[in-house]
Structure 1
Amino acid sequence: MAVVMLEGVEQQVSNIFCIGRNYAAHVAELGNQLEEEPLVFLKPTSSLTRSGRDIVLPAYSSDVHHECELVLLIGKGGSDIAVADALSHVAGVGIGLDLTARDVQSEAKQGGKPWTKAKGFRHAACVSDFVAASRLELAKPFHFSLQVNGATRQQGDTSLMLYPLAIIISYLSQTYGLTAGDLVYTGTPQGVAALHAGDVLHLQLDGVLSADWTVAA
């Protein structure tokens, strides 16, 4: 059973939704096109890895990239949630990594195949503990960052999202339906790069929380 921690209390994870291409600068750095609606993919719950545990990179890839993201924990599910009500469905806010086997993803895209092998391997969904949404102002922008071996690699500002948090929640509810315990990875800013054995990663969210991982040798 996959669980995350919300204010020190275990929460069972249902689905893991991820939003791709949600920052224009990241779309540009990978040479992709902007999407006319949120680009959604899923990760299995077996890919979840909480802060403090080692990241084991898949043997079948030689180019696994970090993608630092704001992560939402859904507290109240629903279908056809209105944008105006969407943020009230969030139970907690955290930070995480959507790890991507870029070489495997590129091959899959060229062949018109699914991305699951590139996005769903063990340790591919790293996530911090969660801060209760009731303690935060969800309508205001969040700032987050990733340092690798002490050097800043990524800095995010949710005001730059192509699809803001409320729109993402509403869209997911209309298209798939949301369930209590769902995690939503909301997209990564520019600065993605390859990870290597021994790398030490430090993620920070607005000074509210942080998370750390080390890539196993």
Structure 2
Amino acid sequence: MAQGTGRDGYVLPVPENPSLPVLGTDHRFPIRRIYCIGRNYLAHVEELKHDRSQPPLFFQKQRDMLVQSGGSVVYPSLTQDYEHEIELVLAMKSGGMNIKPEDAMQHVYGYAVGLDMTRRDLQNHAQEIRGPWEAGKSFEQSAPCSAITPIAKTGVLKEGRIRLTVNDATATDGDLKNMIWNQAEVIAHLSTAFAIGPGDLIYTGTPAGVGKVKSGDKMVASIDGLSTLVITVS
């Protein structure tokens, strides 16, 4: 067997495991997978003219696409329609398959504020040709996320203002209570398709108010009771 030439026998440097700070502690939350749900607020479904009778759907982003609060994202290639979507993020401490809704919230470690950055024109084209969404949704720096606030400090967030400003102007202003599927239902449904595990992040969808950003813009994303996410576009 060929011997590795790098550290601990690997032939290449081992990629760093992305993590997020935990609010109020010196600890960090390691990231395993990132799941996102689409079409989970009725106003957003109507905003993008989707079929409101269809259930929400799931897609994934890679964990190295995370950007922490205070960072910047580079305006991506191949798009003329780079858009923001603010979302409540669930940080999972455990999981499994086929989780019952009544058991789902016991698997949540905490909450964060996330941005599902989107190359909307590429996503729309993929939908038109019935192709995969990766180019529109899963690309470099497409998953900004705030520090994680333990659910032990907040309790289950059944309602609360979710707001995004771009250059101090309000772009999105909604309430968590307007989710079509609540957090427990999101977890339960996701677990029928994937084995949820410790370190997973679940972005739970955006209210109406998605919009374009450009180089130089500053986005401030907030949800009542959680750490604020601040991101600039370079």
TM-score (norm 1): 0.95
Q: 2: CA distance between counterparts of 1:134 and 1:101?
A: 35
Which of 161, 167, 179 is the equivalent residue of 1:143? 161
Contact persistence 2:38–2:205 (CA under 8 A): yes
Aligned pairs for 1:30-69 within 5 A:
30-34=48-52, 36-69=54-87
Q: Which residue of 2 aligns with 1:28?
A: 46
Q: Which residue of 1 aligns with 2:191?
A: 173
1:73 has 2:91 as partner: yes
Give the SS at the match of 1:109: helix
- Which amino acid letter does the alignment assign opposite residue 176 of structure 1? F
Aligned pairs for 1:68-217 within 5 A:
68-138=86-156, 140-216=158-234
- Which amino acid letter does the alignment assign opposite residue 31 of structure 1? K
Contact persistence 2:154–2:225 (CA under 8 A): no
Cα deviation code 1:69-114 (max 9, x no counterpart): 0001001122221111111110010101001101111111111110
Give the SS at the match of 1:174: coil
Q: Which residue of 1 aligns with 2:29?
A: 11
Give the root-mean-square deviation of aligned CA atoms. 1.2
Q: Give percent identity, aligned residues only.
A: 37
Q: 1: CA distance between counterparts of 2:67 and 2:190?
A: 23
Q: 1: CA distance between counterparts of 2:121 and 2:56?
A: 23
- Which amino acid letter does the alignment assign opposite residue 68 of structure 1? I
Q: 2: CA distance between counterparts of 1:111 and 1:2?
A: 33
User: Compared with structure 1, are the counterparts of its residues 139 and 50 closer, same or farther at alpha carbon in structure 2 (3 Å cutoff)?
Assistant: closer
Give the SS at the match of 1:175: coil
Structure with a larger share of its residues in strand: 1
Give the SS at the match of 2:215: coil
Tell me how many residue pairs correspond in the alignment: 216
Larger Rg: 2
Q: Unmatched 5+ residue regions in structure 1?
A: none
- Residue 5 (structure 1) shift: 1.7
Q: 2: CA distance between counterparts of 1:125 and 1:208?
A: 17
Give the SS at the match of 1:122: coil
1:2 has 2:18 as partner: yes
